[in-house]
Amino acid sequence: MTTAQARQAIGAYGEDVAARHLGELGMTVLERNWRCGEGEIDILLRDGSTLVVCEVKTRTSLVAGTPHEAITDAKLDRLRRLGERWAIERGVRPDGIRIDLVAVLRPRQGPAVVDHVRGLS
């Protein structure tokens, strides 16, 4: 397995863990890995009447920093624009758009550690 394939597999694992976690909280997954020319949204969900744009960051260690550190103001702005674009393209009129982060730490042994941060912006 190449490094790129390993990174992709870890990302897919994290997204599966995040989708399951958010579903257990009562949110409904609307779409995963939505892409357009401006970027990608990992998971789009409905939480009541709110559209949730969820960024998933998965790490196997904290050597390169925490997943939280990867979320910049520019990233938040882009995710908000992408969420608005998705809603327009799908004809969805949510009461609001919220950006969440699900940070997944996958240690070499033991279960994954999930940290869900609601409402980054």
Q: Provide the pLDDT confidence category of residue 10 given band limits of 50, 70 and 90.
A: confident
The predicted-structure confidence for 55-109, as pLDDT tens digits, reads as follows 999 988 888 788 888 899 999 999 999 999 999 999 999 999 999 999 999 888 8
Q: Which two tokens stand for residue 80?
A: 């908000």
- Please give the CATH number for the structural domain made up of 3-117: 3.40.1350.10
Domain boundaries in the chain?
3-117
Q: Which two tokens stand for residue 90?
A: 């799908």
Q: Provide the pLDDT confidence category of residue 5 given band limits of 50, 70 and 90.
A: confident
pLDDT at 121: 64
Q: What are the φ and ψ backbone dihedral angles of 69, each rounded to 5 degrees?
A: -70, -15
- Is the pTM of the predicted complex or chain greater than 0.85? yes
The predicted-structure confidence for 26-47, as pLDDT tens digits, reads as follows 999 999 999 999 999 999 999 9
Transcribe 34-102 into DSSP letters: EEETTEEEEEEEEETTEEEEEEEEEES-STT--GGGG--HHHHHHHHHHHHHHHHHHT---SEEEEEEE
